[in-house]
Amino acid sequence: MQSEIANDCLVGHAAVRRTPLGAVAKRTTDVILVILGLLVLWPLFLLIATLVATDGGPVLYRHRRIGMDGAPFDCLKFRTMILGAGECLDEYLAYHPAEREEWESARKLTFDPRTTAVGRLLRRTSLDELPQLFNVLAGDMSLVGPRPVTSPELTYYGDSAGLYRAVRPGITGLWQISGRNDLSYEQRVDLDARYVKEQGFWRDIGILLKTPQVVLSRTGAR
């Protein structure tokens, strides 16, 4: 299994045209922008943390995702779900076959019974993803890249799994500015692979500049 992962990574890296200077520029841009962002956004962090904690649960949600070279990491988000969300989902899907089919095909639900009132607002505005700025500082993620996925989800990537593992996953990316949750899973995979093959410094800047417009318009938000 380890050799298969290694081979996938080698295939992915071979397909990515990336220079050492480009990698340094991307990482430097990430760190500088994140530090500036945290200096500006800390009051918002404090406000959201206070609202999320009102039900007595944890403020942050950690979910294991797959990063560059197949290394797992804990992806951070503000918690948007009720306590006992896993059991809630199992019970809901057991009584709603149509929603189960939606979940199995897209791994998302149009109406998710697990989300709190504050959580729905955070998801619609993508503010739940702000803690991922700390993932960027830690080097687990980048500001721009493929969607961070779980190990089971990576099986949907097929031949593109090596491309996914060749770069750091991103807070935003080509998928986010192209429709987000309105896209099928296959379309998301295609966009992630396309990003890795065509990535570049100025392409990242363009995605970063377009992201606020997409978020504010709530395009594909759920």
Q: What is the pLDDT of residues 152-196, one digit of tens each?
A: 888 888 888 999 999 999 999 998 888 766 788 888 889 999 999
Q: How confident is the model at residue 222 (pLDDT cuts 50, 70, 90)?
A: low
pTM check: above 0.85: no
State how far the Cα of 160 lies from the Cα of 103, in Å rounded to an integer.
22
- The helices-and-strands tally (H runs, E runs) of the chain is 10, 4
Q: Are 216 and 177 in contact (CB under 8 A)?
A: no
First to last CA, the chain: 36
pLDDT at 9: 45
pLDDT at 90: 77
Q: Are 88 and 80 in contact (CB under 8 A)?
A: no
Q: Has residue 6 got a pLDDT over 50?
A: no
State how far the Cα of 124 lies from the Cα of 147, in Å rounded to an integer.
17
pLDDT at 67: 95
pLDDT at 11: 44
State how far the Cα of 165 lies from the Cα of 67, in Å rounded to an integer.
6
pLDDT at 94: 80
| Residue that wins the pLDDT comparison between 11 and 75 | 75
